[in-house]
Amino acid sequence: MKYDFLIVGAGLYGAVFAEQATKRGKKALVIDKRPTIAGNLYTEKIEGINVHKYGAHIFHTNNEKVWHYITKFATFNRYTNSPIANYKGEIYSLPFNMYTFYKLWNTITPEEAKKKIESQKTILKEPKNLEEQSIKLVGKDIYEKLIKGYTEKQWGRSCSELPAFIIKRLPVRFTYDNNYFDSKYQGIPIGGYTKMVEKMLEGVEVRLNTDYLKNKKDYKNIAKTTIYTGPIDAYFDQELGILEYRTVRFENEILDIDNFQGNAVVNYTDKETPYTRIIEHKWFEFGKDESGKDLPKTVISKEYSFEWKNGDEPYYPVNDKKNNELYERYKKLAEKEKNTFFGGRLGEYKYYDMDSVIEKALTDAEKIIR
């Protein structure tokens, strides 16, 4: 056989695996159906700005090993994510912190804010869904103004049908701190994610515009082991049923002004605005200092969330009970596939952050590559 590993998908999981295999002296072939590498991390330069073509990605981690690993391929800037929420023209700080509480209730001290939340907590039992979890964490006002509309647009489902864990991604803190992530390390790779993944794939053979599922038989005897990072249900021709995903469509605009919204991320948390958020890409890279001001234009993306259907790009797995159960059945099938392993957000049907993908790929590589 020509290769030790056939890696299907040139996204983050595939790139880490390919890098690890190559480093250990194995021959890997990476294929991807898109014309570009880096999966949904792909960034494209427009008007001097690295535009996150498949949605904003902000790297953050508490994992020393992951940070040590990824910084071999890029230098990260000091970007700190501090999105703001626009609720019917009112601006609130995110994540939920003392600035948010002050704006909502005029509370000054943590004690006052805690009291206010306490008085709005109608849910005391173990939360069964995202709605109950939110009210338990931050009370009714925040749930109604900053969570409900956004979440229902993003997921196309009522908050009472969604799993509680999704809202636990957001910190709630009683300090004046708008940093969205509780992570020791955070930033955006200087020069863009594409460049970072290019570096990871240095010395690895990559074939783009190559659809594995449509040409499976051509790849049957090409490698000893296959690493598949596409949707697990698609691999099995959806024979047990369709796993649900959310897809995102972006409306990109190049504007003849240097500053559109003064921040990289503005979430529109009401129900009526059709998009969930507007990303102004230049602020990921240039901060709000002098360097960004030299660019006369700006690029913005409005994000619209839809239910995925065959042919769309899958972005978010819908990890509710029904889908997780179906995934478990696919996983059993996957375990029976000879010399084939499944990884990444789509291969494992998991709402992974980038750092968890890297950690998992490193651990899997350790186990699989001999």
Catalytic residue among 102, 157, 173, 205: 173
x-or-dash string of contact with ligand UDP, 233-272, rule CB under 6 A = ----------------------------------x-x---
Catalytic residue among 4, 152, 244, 303: 303
* Structural contact between residues 340 and 226, judged by C-beta atoms closer than 8 angstroms: yes
Q: Does 151 bind ligand UDP (CB under 6 A)?
A: yes
**180 exposed, middle or buried (CB, 10 Å; 0-12, 13-18, 19+)?**
buried
CB of 190 to ligand UDP, least distance (A): 21
Number of residues that bind ligand UDP (CB under 6 A): 13
Q: Fill in the amino acid letter for 358.
A: I
| Near ligand UDP by CB under 6 A: residue from 154, 178, 225, 323 | 154
Alpha-carbon distance of 160 to 284, in angstroms, equals: 34
**DSSP-assigned letter for residue 176:** S
Q: Could you give the C-alpha distances from 43 to 31, 250, 261, 269, in angstroms and in order?
A: 19, 14, 21, 26
Active site includes 144?
no
Catalytic residue among 90, 111, 169, 182: 169
Active site includes 219?
no
Residue closest to 200 by CA, chosen among 89, 341, 38: 38
Catalytic residue among 99, 102, 304, 351: 351
**DSSP-assigned letter for residue 97:** S
- 226 strand-pairing partners: 6, 340
Alpha-carbon distance of 260 to 162, in angstroms, equals: 33
| Near ligand UDP by CB under 6 A: residue from 87, 101, 150, 284 | 150
Residue with the CB atom nearest ligand UDP in the bound state: 151
Q: Does 184 bind ligand UDP (CB under 6 A)?
A: no
Active site includes 277?
yes
Active site includes 132?
no
Q: List active site positions.
A: 169, 173, 246, 277, 303, 351, 353
Q: List residues near ligand UDP by CB under 6 A.
A: 85, 94, 146-147, 150-151, 154, 166-167, 169-170, 267, 269
